[in-house]
Amino acid sequence: MKRLRVRDLPNWPPEPGGPNPGGRYKIPNSEQALMTALSPRQRPQWVTFTSSFDDLQHTHDFEASNEELAEQLRRLIANNVGKSVFAIGDLEIEI
């Protein structure tokens, strides 16, 4: 198995989403967005979590290349709630 930093995964970090009527709210970057929760698994290869910035909640959806990678990311995120999305990028996973 090879170790890889999360930030080196294609499409990491996932962009924040959520309601932003009229573009009134500032969209956080990965250093500003603090992870608040891992969402329940909906689809095998997708990892969904929420973050907070300026008292607003945002959702992030990441499609992993396979189910095993998605599970590793879910565990990593669940164990690091409260950290920034950017900080998760520094952690390593096995591929």
Stretch 48-74: mean pLDDT: 94
Q: Which helix (H) or strand (E) holds 63?
A: strand 56-63
Q: What is the mean pLDDT of the chain?
A: 92
* pLDDT of amino acid 18: 75
Q: Residue 24: which pLDDT band, with cuts at 50, 70 and 90?
A: confident
Task: For residue 2, give the nearest of 64, 66, 69, 62 by alpha carbon.
Answer: 69
* pLDDT of amino acid 77: 96
Distance between CA atoms of 69 and 94, rounded to whole angstroms?
8
